[in-house]
Chains A and B, each alone.
Chain A
Amino acid sequence: MADEFVRTAEAILRRSPTGTDALLELEWVPSLDLADEYSAESFSALFRAQGRSLASTPALAVLIAHQFGVVDGPQDLGTTASYRGRRRGELVAATLSIACTQANKIVVDIGEDALLVGSPSAFSESGAQPLDPSCVNMTAAVSALEPVAVDEIALHRIQAQRLARLACALEMLGVCEHLMQLAVSYAHERRQFGAPIGSFPALQQLLAAAEVEVVGLRNSCAVVMGERIRALDPDPLHDAMLVKALAGRTTQRVTQATLQVLGAVGFTWENDHHRYQRRALTLDALFGTYHELVALLGAMPTDAPLRRVGVM
């Protein structure tokens, strides 16, 4: 069921890789309830499929903006930006959104109790280009943005961060799955020394080790997103932080292993691998990198051993 969902979503996203058409066709709504099995599966399928296809829908941005009550659905586009600090009185915002240029509202979470919103015309490109070409860094003057009144902003922020981390982890899983597919396929086709390179033990061990990482991430995502395994871990706490950190580590390892098998070099245009690597690095940079999160996880208090792996 879950695999079928992902394949369907992937097919739709490949037909319509940007914009809201794909989201409308998928009947995707940001007002989802992850406790509901269908909602959780469609959430997983969308972001995994986005990672596999490198589609650039505004789903993530809309999802976060919706948590703050700023937008209602894909037809009312919103996006968010992470606040990076003030410089000479000017707000510097690094946009998180993929396909943010289609947004009609950009929400900037500047921490504490403040949230600002403005139209895209209030922003200009900062000139610094993120690795993933579907992202863009933009800046805006504070005076050009309006404050948004949101009750209990801290609670909304926690929920937005949780969903964003889950979404990124799932998209990174999709990236890993696609890279494995590319590498395994190439290992069958590419012949050296008169044999397919996939028959060489050294490459088999490399790909098997990478597959172990992907299986670990896929099962971790499944636990966090519910399913029957919930009976074993009834009360996940900091699940999104765990799965986002794991996704960062996994993509780091899987992109390197598959780059090696594909002989992809990683910074030439001839192999698609570099596009997935750029997306993986960008996703890792959002909402806490692997290195930032792993340090937080390791410093957790010791009075609840299972809590570290998400069990109450």
Chain B
Amino acid sequence: MSTPVGLRTQPFELSDAVEFRASFRHWLLEHKERLPQSEMGADFAERLETLRVLQSELYAAGWARIGWPERVGGLGGSAVHRAVMYDELALAGFPTRSAFEHLEILAPAMLVHWDEQKFGEMLSLLLSGDELWCQGFSEPDAGSDLVSMRTTGTRDGEGYRITGAKCWTSWAAFADWCAVLVRTGTPEERHRGLSAFFVDLRSAGVEVRAIRQANGTDEFAEVTFDNVWVPESNRIGEEGKGWPFALDVLSCERAAFAWLRQTRLLAVADRLAAVATPAVAPVMGDVVLDLFALRATSAQAVVELADGRFMGPAAAPSKSLLTSAEQNLYDAAQLILGSDLALGTEIDDVGAWQEDYLFSRAVSIYGGTRQIQYMTIARFLLGLPHG
């Protein structure tokens, strides 16, 4: 692909970030009319399709390639450039990145743990909006205790055979690829017996069943693997080294993702402030403080990632701040919108508020529960003794 007109040809550096923000904002402003926008409350598949088109537009204009090294098909730059783009997209009114959030959850860890050529090929297809990814970690009986997972991978010639079930897998019904954590060793080996694979969901033996949800979206799915063959080249990292990969993914899901999410929450806070009365100013002020602390802390994670470092246990405060910021924001929405949130008699976009409110309740569960985050902080950051 040729370098798009208007983009610089030399690699992007961190110091360019301020200038970069201005140029991306300008481009968005110039092209906003023709870029696709989807409304909250529209059909879920339709919303996802709109996002795909937006992603392909960003790719065609070159923006989507910024923030990724040239050796994997990017134009240089770092996680800071990507973070600035998410900020500006949300500010310009574009909806949440939903399925493309794996650019921040899976991709940074895959870049480090997987073969760069293979990763580069896959990344280009995600960046261009042609394909979608999902993350297969949780199982019906392995949630917070992820290491107790039962999905197995056994050697078979130049590859592996994977058998088992993953559950609560976001975007799986729409995704083409899934990063799956499986047990290639014995259960007694615990985390040392795990390996990670990038599995083509179109392979024979894969079945994806969407889970009907009560909030109007069908984001989750159950994915079963029945003796699915995966080439060795799709193993992410060495055999038995799936846990370090999983930890880096979880670090991103808890920290850098929090930056992505706060861009959306700021936009929601703005909508809420527009209908808030002076009487609830202190409540809105607390929401602002939550977002300020979240933004500052997740920014730290973005800067660390730009320097090639994952946060590890230090990601837990970001996720904890995201949890309180998002839940407090929608608690404020319940206060400010009053009975309308449940009854929808006065506000036009009540469906969107209801959907978001229900989603906000789950922030303390996904990506590691609030209790797991606190346990991580107590043990690894504060060094408190084991019980």
Q: Identify the A interface with B (CB < 8 A).
A: 180, 184, 187-188, 195-196, 198-201, 203-205, 207-209, 211-213, 215-217, 219-220, 222-223, 228-229, 231-234, 242-243, 245-246, 249, 291, 293-300, 302, 305-306, 308-311
Contact = CB atoms under 8 A, between A and B. Distances in A.
B293 interface: yes
A180 B281 CA distance: 31
Given A211-B377, A305-B270, A306-B266, A216 B296 contact: yes
B280 to A, nearest CB: 7
A195 B387 contact: yes
A204 B372 CA distance: 11
A293 to B, nearest CB: 7
Nearest to B381: A211
Label chain A's interface by main secondary structure.
helix
Contacts of B292: 220, 242-243, 246, 308-310
30 contacts: A180-B382, A184-B384, A195-B387, A204-B375, A204-B384, A207-B384, A208-B377, A208-B382, A211-B317, A211-B377, A215-B317, A216-B293, A228-B303, A229-B299, A232-B84, A232-B303, A245-B285, A249-B289, A294-B288, A296-B281, A296-B285, A297-B289, A298-B276, A298-B287, A299-B281, A299-B284, A299-B285, A305-B266, A308-B266, A310-B292
Nearest to B377: A208
A225 to B, nearest CB: 11
B276 A232 contact: no
A294 B285 CA distance: 5
A196 B384 CA distance: 9
Contacts of A215: 297, 317, 321
A229 B284 contact: no
Given A208-B382, A293-B285, A232 B374 contact: no
Given A205-B374, A219-B299, A246-B293, A212 B320 contact: yes
B157 interface: no
Contacts of A217: 293
A148 to B, nearest CB: 34
Interface of B: 14-15, 17-18, 21, 80, 83-84, 87, 91, 266-267, 269-270, 273-274, 276, 278, 280-289, 291-297, 299-300, 302-303, 316-317, 320-321, 324, 371, 373-375, 377-379, 381-387
A198 B375 CA distance: 12
Given A205-B371, A309-B295, A294 B382 contact: no
A217 B18 CA distance: 24
A231 B18 contact: yes
A298 B288 contact: yes
A227 B303 CA distance: 10
Nearest to A312: B21
Given A201-B375, A229-B300, A229-B303, 19 more contacts: A187-B384, A196-B385, A204-B384, A208-B374, A215-B317, A216-B294, A217-B293, A228-B14, A231-B18, A249-B289, A294-B288, A294-B289, A295-B282, A296-B285, A297-B284, A297-B289, A298-B276, A298-B284, A311-B87
B104 to A, nearest CB: 14
A197 to B, nearest CB: 9
Contacts of B374: 204-205, 208-209
A220 B293 contact: yes
Nearest to B289: A246
Contacts of B378: 198, 204-205, 207-208
A234 B18 contact: yes
Nearest to B275: A302
Contact of A219 (B296, B373, B383): B296
B282 A212 contact: no
